Amino acid sequence: MGQTRLFLTAPREQAESIFSVLDAHFEDDGLPISIFEPEEDSGIFQISIYAEDDVDGLERRVRESLADFSPIPPLKREEVPEIDWVSHSLEGLRPVRVGRFLVHGSHDRHLQRIGDIAIEIDAGLAFGTGHHGTTAGCLSVLADILKSEHPRNALDLGTGSAVLAIAIARAARIPVLATDIDPIATEVAASNVRLNRVASLVETHTAPGFHHAVFARKKPFDLIVANILARPLMALAPHMASHITPGGSLVLSGILERQRRAVVAAYGGQGFRHVRTQAREGWVTIHMKR
């Protein structure tokens, strides 16, 4: 199914204000929203929001949410052809190096160095290639944790491509439970686990939240990483507390900088203490301990 892009153009200051309003207004809808400068150093930015259905309804909601802007820049439409955007975008992406971790596609295997913990992730349907600020942030924090701690049992909640589960398994050589709410993501994760030769360590399951018998069987975990979104992370705080060992490390990401305090507060109320926060590209990765 193709998508329709609604977009408008405005000077930087106004564009950033419009983006903030739309981002807050449509946060719960899960609709992709972007802002970029089509021509470098022009000072003119384009804000886009994408939809697959009810475009008229979306346009009406966009106009209503921007009612305080006068005048509203012209809102235009563009039909986006059906393309595997993940595969398309990854064609030109370079490998990502975070500490000892090297996330690469099959065409870049030759770039591995001695001592690298190489993770091969090709284009797929699941989120998490290492290029996004949240995934790279998790890899960076995990690299530091695994230098000073020795977890024996780990959980990657919302695993996506399984890049984080693979990273933990390859670096620490410990069992990792990798779960995702999306069965397609779970299939991709299992394929990547086999590709990276850690199938003996990483077990993949489709499971929403902690509602699956495998959690009771596998807990407690010394290390949990969850790269999801702020609101579901806050809702999961009590479950995280009941599934992690005392002194265990928790790595949370998928969190915008403005959401950091709320997430830390939610976990503070469950007996976690904040260790540090790392920011990348407007997103934060939070390390907490039980």
Which DSSP category does 74 fall into?
Answer: P
Q: Would you say 130 is a known binding-site residue? A: no
| Cis check: omega of the bond before 81, within 30 degrees of 0 | no
Q: Would you say 28 is a known binding-site residue? A: no
- Token pair of 154 as six digits: 């780990």
Write the CB contacts of 43 (distance below 8 Å, at least 6 apart in sequence): 11, 12, 37
Q: Would you say 204 is a known binding-site residue? A: no
Which DSSP category does 114 fall into?
Answer: T
CB 51 within 8 A of CB 83: no
CA angle 112, 114, 120 (to 5 degrees): 30
- Token pair of 88 as six digits: 């398309």
3-state helix, strand, coil in the chain (%, to 5): 40, 30, 30
- Distance of alpha carbon 112 from the chain centroid: 25
Of 131, 111, 113, the residue nearest 121 (C-alpha): 131
As a residue count, the chain comes to 290
CB-based burial of residue 21 (10 Å sphere; 0-12 exposed, 13-18 middle, 19+ buried)? middle
Q: Would you say 153 is a known binding-site residue? A: no
**Residue whose entry in the numeric block shows the structure tokens 């942030």:** 137
Which DSSP category does 111 fall into?
Answer: G
Q: Return the SS3 of 29.
A: helix
- Token pair of 120 as six digits: 């091969």
Residues forming the annotated binding site? 135, 158, 180, 227
Residues forming the annotated binding site for S-adenosyl-L-methionine? 135, 158, 180, 227
